[in-house]
Amino acid sequence: MFAIGHFALGYLTGKTSSTLLKTKLNLPLLLTISVIPDIDLILQFAEPTLFMHRGPTHSIIAQTAIMIPFLIIYRKKTLPYYAALLSHSLLGDFFTGGFEMFWPISQGWFGTIGLDVMGITNVTIELILFAIALPLMFKTKDIQTLLKPNNHNLALIIAFGAVLGPMLQIGQSTEMSLPTLLMIPSIFYLCLFAYSLLIELNAKLNKPPKILTLNQATPNPKAEYLLTNNSLF
Ligand SMILES: [Zn+2]
């Protein structure tokens, strides 16, 4: 599945979990986590023997192991992100070729092999998921959070790359070349993420220098006394 479908599945599972658990949702983080297993497309160039596509980063055992410290620290707040992460492999990739579900215990490949990721059935499913998730993001005002400067927006650089990568491969006969029908949702997300990243970077660059008040500048009471009494010299 491409990023368009993964974003939608990650949002739908994450939003449902956060609503049930009554926890706050961080949309940039949720969208990024929903595509993070596909980082193996980059890692496989660095370490091809370990990181083949849909290998260890897609394993539900590896994903659970990574989430355990967060579950211990942040408890139920982690569950929406855990759900989004699992949705990548168990929903998105399971029906489009499968993955190494139980790595490192088993190197076996689990999933159906019938659905071609480039085929019209998968593309239609991704478009339907996009059409369901997007209005929901607007209705819940989650997507509007991306239009304001926020530190968390910077996480979207990974989501941006996940959309851009397949677009750059259009016309090439690779397994990650973006099907034409997914162009419009891909351009939408590219523009949204680029805007979100740029307003955050702009806010950071134009942040006014912090001006210290007298009390902040002179935490030492004796120094403050000298300053206020003009008797420094
Ligand atoms: Zn994947």
pLDDT of residue 65: 97
Lowest mean pLDDT among 29-38, 148-157, 205-214: 205-214
pLDDT at 23 over 50: yes
CA of 195 to the centre of ligand 1 (A): 25
Mean local confidence (pLDDT), 39-58 = 88
Residue 174 — very low, low, confident or very high, per pLDDT cuts 50/70/90?
confident
Q: Where are the domains of the chain?
A: 3-205
Mean local confidence (pLDDT), 149-170 = 94
CA of 94 to the centre of ligand 1 (A): 9
CA of 58 to the centre of ligand 1 (A): 7
CA of 12 to the centre of ligand 1 (A): 17
CA of 46 to the centre of ligand 1 (A): 18
CA of 186 to the centre of ligand 1 (A): 17
Lowest mean pLDDT among 130-139, 171-180, 187-196: 171-180
Mean local confidence (pLDDT), 126-144 = 97
pLDDT of residue 46: 85
CA of 210 to the centre of ligand 1 (A): 44
- Rg of the Cα atoms in the chain: 23
Strand partners, 110: 99
Closest to 85 in 3D by CA, of 100, 66, 110, 102: 66
CA of 38 to the centre of ligand 1 (A): 5
pLDDT in tens, 94-115: 998 899 999 999 988 898 867 8
pLDDT of residue 231: 45
pLDDT at 50 over 90: no
CA of 216 to the centre of ligand 1 (A): 51
Helix (H), strand (E), coil (C) string for 59-101: CHHHHHHHHHHHHHHHHHHHHHHHHHHHHHHHHHHHHHCCECC
pLDDT of residue 128: 98
Tally of CB atoms within 10 A around 130 = 20
pLDDT at 87 over 90: yes
74 Cβ neighbours under 8 A, 6+ residues apart: none
CA of 154 to the centre of ligand 1 (A): 22
Mean local confidence (pLDDT), 125-138 = 97
Residue 26 — very low, low, confident or very high, per pLDDT cuts 50/70/90?
very high
CA of 222 to the centre of ligand 1 (A): 62
CA of 93 to the centre of ligand 1 (A): 6
Distance CA 198, CA 188 (A): 15
